[in-house]
Amino acid sequence: MGSGEDSDGKRSLPEHLERMRSRVEVGSKVPSNSEGVYYSGAYSSMGVDNSLSVSDLEKRLKVKILEKEKDRIVFELIGIDAPIANTIRRILLSEVPTMAIEKVSFFANSSVIHEEILAHRLGLIPLDVDPNLFDYMEEGAEPSEVNALKFRLKVQCTKVAAVPAEAKPSLKYHNSDVFSSMLEWEPIGEQAEVFGSKPPKPVNDDILIAKLRPGQEIDLEVLAVKGISKDHAKWSPVATAFYRMLPQVELLKSIEGADAIELKDMCPSNCFDIEESGKAVAVRPGQCTMCRECIRHGDWEEKIRLSRVRDHFIFSIESTGAIAPEDLFMRALQVLVDKCGNVVERLTESLDVSSAQARASTNKEHLSHLTRMSTGR
Amino acid sequence: MNGAVEDLAAPIKNAEDKAKLLPAFLQVRGLVRQHIDSFNYFINVEIWNIVKANSKVNSDADANFQLVYTDVQVGRPSVEDEFRAATSVTPQKCRVRDITYSAPITVDLQYTLGKEVVKQNGILIGRLPIMLRCCRCLLAGKNDLELAKLGECPLDPGGYFIVKGTEKVVLTQEQLSKNRIIVEPDSKGLMSATVQSSTHERKSRTNIIMKAGKMYLKHNTIVEDIPVVIVFKAMGMESDQEIMQLIGSESEFVEAFTRSLEEAASLKILTQEAALAYVGARMRITRDMPRSLNRTNLAREFLAHTVLAHVPVVEYNFRTKCVYVAQMVRRILLALGDSSWVDDRDYYGNKRLELAGQLIALLFEDLFKTFNTEVKKRATQTLSKPHRAAQFNIINLFPVSIITNGLESSISTGNWHVERFKMDRAGVTQVLSRLSFISALGMMTRVNSQFEKTRKVSGPRSLQPSTWGMLCPSDTPEGEACGLVKNLALMTHVTTDDEAGPVAELLYILGTEDTSVVSGDEINDKRNSLVYLNGLLLGVHSNPDALTKAARKLRRKGLIGEFVSVCQIEGQNAIYVACDGGRVCRPLIIVENGSPMVTQTHLDELKAKTRVWRDFVQDGLIEYLDVNEENNALIAVDEESVQEETTHMEIAPLTILGVCAGLIPFPDHNQSPRNTYQCAMGKQAVGAIAYNQHRRVDTLLYLLTYPQRPMVETQVLTLVGGDRLPGGQNASLAVMSYSGYDIEDAVVLNKASLDRGFGRCCVIKKYTTSLKRYGKNNLRDRLAPLSATDRPPGSRYEALDADGIAPPGEKLVPGSIFVNKQVPSDAALTDAMTGSVTEYRDAPVTYKAPVAGYVDKVVITSNENEDFLIKTMVRETRRPEIGDKFSSRHGQKGVCGLIVPQEDMPFSDQGICPDLIMNPHGFPSRMTVGKLIEFVTGKAAVFEGRFGNGTAFAGDKIDECARALVKAGYSYTGKDFFYSGMTGEPLRGYVFAGPIFYQKLKHMVKDKMHARSRGPRALLTRQPTEGRSRDGGLRLGEMERDCLIGYGASMLLMERLVHSSDAFTIYVCQKCGLIGYKGWCQHCKSGVEVIMEDISVDY
């Protein structure tokens, strides 16, 4: 034990402290070491500096994309602390703007769904349009081409001639189901030219808005405006955004023979393999779901140690479809940068000029690092 | 062939198959069958009996006049218009139009018209409100599609009435059974035998008591207690030896009864004549006793027809009654020696349930008698006139409204006042609660007991073992009605009256010897058994076992009614046979020779639909047992516990529960009061009410916007339709501490979930306006249409349409006018008498609710009285807010304490954010293990893509569910790794999380929030009004006052109690100190030299 020095010539922590600093232990009954240590002087008695240095961060920070689909991205974010990762998650959930239907004007609604509920349902439909092209609508402002999108929904249900009575409603009637695809975009001003080949529309065509029967109709006009999810979840750009810390499975004792087979069969996520020698090895710890099944019984907790790496995040962003998930991450960072800028600005204002100047320079320097980091990837 | 036989005997494979009988049962019966059966019985049988018993009407004026009813029919529901033309009507129309769903009662009759006797058929005598889904109802036998076309919900159980547009349920009334001997210590601690006799003509209560070692008869009509021996003598049994033999000649009886015999002897009463004189002298003479009789004859009459009225006395042959009285005496003597002879009046075999049919029959009988009296009066009146212009036709004088109004008003007020039977009950009917689907169902199974609610007795309130399987052990309200209001269990059946004659005959054929042909010694012989039928001593039988066996066999063969109960009481040497109405019974599988009669083959047939419930009963595989007969049965719960002596087997254990308790998942794992709480709360849950909910025009309607089928269902839930009309939503719940706003059962809600529609509900209120008509001059209220310029945007008239009524979709803000009505001015009203000009003044209907709403629909219709009814339904959509009440299905209620943005909520490895957070402190003291199991089952069901099964005693196995969780990569314990949404770091503990069904309860802050500074005051006291609806003040009560006194805050007290309440200024004379006027003292008679000081006091 005792603190050593790593290759950089920096002093490192003793093994048990290093483990505490970098791992969250996943016990069978309770997790331990769940909170990280962020105080710069936490290890000063050991002669170890725990402060965050930008250069260090730059060196450690890694991003690796694991999965990428149209609406979903999973990537590894390595080398940052939980609060930072969480900030990004929080911004994704609540502060990245999108467009959503906000105002509904009814001309007719004889469907079974009440107007308020129909409006609520319409609001939740994700719209495939880039919010960056729009301004926020100021209170009391008139809808215009820069702050609003207009859609029209005009559906009437009628009978289809000569269909047997026992047929499905969708065959018996025209427009028995009202889908999101029936929302028709009505350009305001020069929007038609601006959007050109990519007209705004709902992301999904098959969202059921209402059901109609012959004689019923819905005729309404909606205005979609830019907003953030803090106001209402309908503006959320993500279905969800979350991360988990990298799972780690360590075998403390060698597990052989029958025990090894038991262990392999026990694990629902197939983390373990048995070597030719008959020894169990954790070959796929990344697959571990931390179900703790392997340490639930008897003395298995003494043989297997489950933990999570504190600065290794497996980040998932599930977009609603309006903004590509990778793009979302960048926008979230941009929001964060803007927020920081805002803080700096406010601080500058409130401090007296001379001291403010001094402070601003250091802050700006710090900020420029952040900006570089975020935009550089 | 051989194989087939073996197949037949094959045991039931598993309990689940056996439980399939439950749906079969409920399909044919429905949950409210008892109401419908009893009403059908009334319509088809009882009404005929009543008319027959009162079929003749004579007139005092003309001896030749006679009216005889020959038949009676109840028609189909219809509505009569002004011209008495009847048109068929649907229940939904009645609800909307505020009219009564009723059918005409018509009679066939013969009567004297002039000098001839005329026959006429189908003469209307009144209208009878019709129970929904009874045999006369329009809905009977209709399929779902037909019901939908009539605007009716297919899941609605029926069994209630619609009177003046409101749905009324006649609650089942529980009563002590009539005509049975109950031996019990009375209020003074004296052993007594009580019989409540009830016949069609009379109701009376007879007691025989043991006082100071002697026996007496006690009755309302006699002033003092009469020695029982004198009663015997008065009934013609003069020989002491004969009396003694009837009671029992064993020495113990002789010893105990000697003193009673001595008393009669010492009173020198030895003959019937003397005894009757003795009784007659002690009678209370009332006006309705016949004047022509002397006291002796009155006494004889009294003994024959009033004492123990149900024991028939033919031509003053008192033998049967003597035997009955002797048995009562014998029972008292036995009870004194051995406490096991004392009866328990709370024992459910001694109870009878009175249902809608019986209650309405009582009312009808009374009204029909009144009707006949009125007919007689009118006939006499007309006939006694010496010169009549037209021919007298009695039919034209029928007072139809007596029966129509009598029935209608009783059902709509719930006051059952029948003087003839000394009955005066209030609250017999109640408005059907349509708060949730379950509350309506729950109301139909409710049983009301007649006990006073204020009495602090535990006996009638406590759970009786004899109610096992008949009444739900969980579903009872808390508080004053606890244990007095009960609910029927799932498979309970309530019998209707069955004819006693054939049963009696059968019992005689089977070897019962009539009491009149056997001596007292034979009656009381230990080797013989007494045979009672409906409480009447029929005779004795020498081989009780054979009789019981034979009678039961005949019942299983279907030769006597399936609900006839035969019960042998071992210690008492008695067989009780009952076929009267109101007994509760339940079906059980018959077990013979250690194997159940229902086999796998039968169940397969059931599955293939080649066999229905009826067949099971008809084939003698299943029979109904009532509470008494259950005592003779050894009932196994399942196949495994069948022994050699077993006689019956349960169909499904869960049927001991009622509907409400049956909806709870895993109730068998909960602490019992929690199930009781949930039974009460399920009725307050906001959800879907009926398929026709948007067509209903109820006064108040709570609807959940997105109701969901629960992840964990129960068999009962699916059977009653709770999955199609759910009362809540599946919430993703995390059990953890969060923010401190979750103490005392408060829950924390996720704002994003609310944004997305969790807990969103609609509140729809009805506002009815009618356009009244005044007098006969066609003067009436009118609508005042306004031109578009008269209703500009922003004004109170904005919502109105061109016709003066706000159209659907219009927004109403507080103060908006939604019906612009005008009424004739007072002057116009007086002018109308002379028929001159009419003036109108505005009387608009304003929207007064505190929050804005939207007009949902407007119904313009009419009923019998009013020409125009305008019903405006105003809708308001609400999202949950802080203070709204939520509950799971385990009696765990809580209010919303905090609404948290999604990003602040904890999230799991899978990115799952809870919709709701609940504090773990809710568990240890509540012991709702069922909820924990619902968590795990629901979570497992999610991953397996199915619905969980939480049926009582037959739910999913917890271990299997936990294993399914592991398979899906979750922890066996159900606890997951969560990260804090605020710091982003892992939480310090694993969090128990999963989907759970949550109910939003009707209590919402929006309806309760209230504050006032200044406002209205009561006229009389000048103090602020009370209650939110009247914008009332908030009371500073006694205890609050005490605090202020204790603290010494006198000025604050003065302000609260006087200045802010009913301050009043008086003037006091500074000289004499008396109260005067401003500037004048009446005492000093001066206004100059005295100074009047004004003082503020309470008004």
Query: Hey, where are the domains in chain A?
Result: 98-236
Q: Is the dihedral of CA B147, B153, B159, B160 positive or negative?
A: negative
Residue scoring higher pLDDT (B320 or B28): B320
Percent of chain B surpassing pLDDT 70: 95
- Cβ–Cβ of A30/B988 closer than 8 Å? yes
Q: Do the chains contact at A120 and B986, CB–CB below 8 Å? A: no
| Identity of residue A185 | W
* Cβ-based contacts of B809 with chain A (< 8 Å): 106, 109, 115
Q: What is the pLDDT of residue B67?
A: 87
**Inter-chain CB proximity A268 and B967 less than 8 Å:** yes
pLDDT value for A312:
93
Structure tokens at B906: 């904890």
Give the span between the Cα atoms of B849 and B456, in whole angstroms: 41
**Mean pLDDT within B204-230:** 86
Instruction: Please list every residue in chain A whose beta carbon sits closer than 8 Å to the beta carbon of residue B977.
Output: 26, 31, 244, 290
Which residue, among B90, B713, B165, has the nearest Cα to B408 in the 3D structure?
Answer: B165
For A135: left if phi > 0, alpha if psi spans -120 to 50, otherwise beta; the answer is: beta
Q: What mean pLDDT comes out for the span B670-690?
A: 93
Point out the residue among A82, A112, A290 whose CB comes nearest to the CB of B694.
A112
- pLDDT at residue B492 is higher than 70: yes
Question: Residues B17, B612: contact at Cβ < 8 Å?
Answer: no
CB contact under 8 A, B988 and A124: no
Q: What is the pLDDT of residue A355?
A: 62
CB-closest option in B757, B903, B979 to A120: B757
Pairing of strands B536-541, B529-533: antiparallel
Contacts of A244 in chain B (CB under 8 A): 909, 977, 979
Residues paired with residue B876 on neighbouring β-strands, in sequence order: B763
Q: Among residues of chain B, what percentage have pLDDT more than 90?
A: 34
CB B589 within 8 A of CB B650: yes
What gap in Å lies between CA A317 and CA A324, rounded to an integer?
10
d(CA B155, CA B347): 35
A342 contacts chain B (CB < 8 A): no
Burial category of B943 from C-beta neighbours within 10 Å (exposed 0-12, middle 13-18, buried 19 and up) = middle
- Does position B837 have pLDDT exceeding 90, yes or no? no
What does the H/E/C string look like for B490-559? CCCEECCCCCHHHHHHHHHHCCCEEHHHCCHHHHCCCCCEEEEECCEEEEEECCHHHHHHHHHHHHHCCC
A289 with B909: Cβ contact below 8 A: yes
Rounded distance, CA B205 to CA B772, Å?
51
Which residues of chain A lie closer than 8 angstroms to B986, CB-CB? 24, 31, 34-35, 245, 308
Residues from chain B contacting residue A38 (CB–CB below 8 Å): none
- Residue to test with chain A: of B959, B966, B970, most A Cβ within 10 A: B966
Other Cβ atoms within 10 Å of A362 Cβ, number: 9
Nearest CB partner across the interface for B972, out of A230, A290, A296: A296
Whether B598 contacts B611, CB under 8 Å: no
Architecture of the structural domain at A98-236: Beta Complex (2.170)
pLDDT over threshold 80, residue B439: yes
Cα B103 from chain centre:
23
Q: How far is A110 from chain B (nearest CA, A)?
A: 10
The number of helices, as runs of H, and strands, as runs of E, in chain A is 10, 18
- The helix (H) or strand (E) run that includes residue A334 is helix A325-350
Q: Which of residues 210-229 of A touch B (CB under 8 A)?
A: 229
- The pLDDT confidence band at residue B776, using thresholds 50, 70 and 90, is low
Q: Does residue B886 surpass a pLDDT of 90?
A: yes
Task: Assess A255–B contact: CB distance below 8 Å, yes or no.
Answer: no
Q: Do B1064 and B1021 contact (CB within 8 A), yes or no?
A: no
In single-letter form, the type of residue at position A336 comes to L
| Mean of all residue pLDDT scores within chain B | 86
Whether residue A11 contacts residue A48, with contact meaning beta carbons closer than 8 Å, is answered with yes
B441 vs chain A: nearest CA distance in angstroms?
25
Per-residue confidence band for A156, with pLDDT thresholds at 50, 70 and 90: very high
Does the pLDDT of residue A374 top 60, yes or no? no
Q: How confident is the model at residue B425 (pLDDT cuts 50, 70, 90)?
A: confident
Asked if residue B125 lies in contact with residue B106, where contact means CB atoms within 8 angstroms, the answer is yes
Q: How far apart are CA A80 and CA A61, in angstroms?
A: 6
Percent helix, strand and coil across chain B, each to the nearest 5: 30, 25, 40
Nearest residue of B to residue A124 by CA position?
B756
Mutation to test the A interface, candidates B903, B912, B978, most A Cβ within 10 Å: B903
Separation between Cα atoms, residue B823 and residue B183, nearest integer Å: 67
Quote the CA–CA distance of B51 and B365 in Å, as a whole number.
8
What is the structure's pLDDT at A9?
54
Which of B425, B468, B466, B469 is CA-nearest to residue B448?
B425
Cβ atoms of residues B575 and B552 within 8 Å: no
Say yes or no for a CB contact (<8 Å) between A233 and B762: no
Tell me the H-state helices in A127-281: 169-172, 191-195, 257-266
Residue A342's contacts (CB-CB under 8 Å, 6 or more residues apart) are none
CA distance B980 to chain A (A): 9
Q: What contacts B555, CB < 8 A, 6 or more positions away? A: B561, B562, B564, B566, B623
Of A29, A35, A268, the CB nearest to B966: A268
Q: How far is B911 from chain A (nearest CA, A)?
A: 5
| Contacts of residue B140, Cβ cutoff 8 Å, sequence gap at least 6 | B133, B134
For chain B, the C-alpha Rg in angstroms (whole number) is 36
Q: Give how far A77 is from chain B: nearest CA, Å.
A: 14
Cβ-contact B222, B176 below 8 angstroms: no
A297 vs B contacts (CB less than 8 Å): none
Q: What pLDDT, on the 0 to 100 scale, is given for residue A370?
A: 46
Contact between A268 and B969 using a beta-carbon 8 Å cutoff: yes
- Looking at the complex, report in whole angstroms how far the Cα of residue B413 sits from the nearest Cα belonging to chain A: 35
Does A296 sit within 8 Å of B911, measured CB to CB?
no
Phi then psi for residue B749, to 5 deg, are -105, 150
- In which region does residue B198 sit, left (phi positive, over 0), alpha (psi from -120 to 50) or beta (all else)? beta
Interface membership of A232 toward B (CB under 8 Å): yes
Tell if the CB–CB gap between A94 and B902 is shorter than 8 Å.
yes
Classify residue B994 as exposed, middle or buried by CB count within 10 Å of its CB (0-12, 13-18, 19+). buried
Give the pLDDT score at A207: 94
Of the pLDDT bands very low, low, confident and very high (cuts 50, 70, 90), residue A2 is: very low
Count Cβ atoms below 10 Å from residue B518 Cβ, excluding itself.
15
The reply to whether A166 touches chain B by the CB within 8 Å rule is no
Instruction: Answer whether residue B89 shows pLDDT above 60.
Output: yes
DSSP-assigned beta bridge partners for residue B48: none
Q: What is the pLDDT of residue B710?
A: 95
Query: What pLDDT does B677 receive?
Result: 94
pLDDT, tens digit (0-9, with 9 covering 90-100), for A191-201: 888 888 889 99
Mean pLDDT score, B306-323 = 83
pLDDT at residue B1004, rounded to an integer: 92
Mutation for B interface: A26, A33, A242, most B CBs within 10 A: A242
A153, β-bridge pairs: A220
Question: Using a CB-CB distance cutoff of 8 angstroms, which residues of chain A are in contact with residue B965?
Answer: 291
Please report the pLDDT score of residue B834 as a whole number: 57
The whole-number pLDDT of residue B829 equals: 59
Confidence category of residue B667, pLDDT binned at 50, 70, 90: very high
Residue A4 predicted with pLDDT over 80: no
d(CA B138, CA B147): 9
* 8 Å CB contact of A34 and B984: no
Chain B contact for A48, CB < 8 A?
Answer: no
CB A72 within 8 A of CB A316: yes
Q: Cβ A291–B760 below 8 Å, yes or no?
A: no
Is the CB of A26 less than 8 angstroms away from the CB of B977? yes
* Chain B contact set for A236 (CB, 8 A): 752, 902
| pLDDT value at residue B176 | 86
The ipTM assigned to this model is 0.90
What is the distance, to the nearest Å, from the Cα of residue B779 to the centroid of all Cα atoms in its chain? 43
The residues of B that are catalytic are 745
Strand B712-713 versus strand B635-636 pairing type = unpaired
Closest-approach residue (CA) in chain A for B983:
A83
Joined together, the tokens standing for residue B71 give: 């038949």
Inter-chain residue contact A82 with B694, CB threshold 8 Å: no
pTM of the entire predicted model = 0.88
Assign B13 a pLDDT band (cuts: 50, 70, 90): low
Q: How far is it, in rounded angstroms, from Cα B65 to Cα B78?
A: 33
CA angle B221, B225, B226 (to 5 degrees): 95
Residue A370, amino acid: L
The pLDDT score that the predictor gives to residue B1042 is 95
Q: What is the distance between the alpha carbons of residues A344 and A355, in angstroms, rounded to a whole number?
A: 13
Instruction: Give the pLDDT mean for B120-124.
Output: 88
- Determine the Cα–Cα distance for residues A247 and A242; give it in Å rounded to an integer: 15
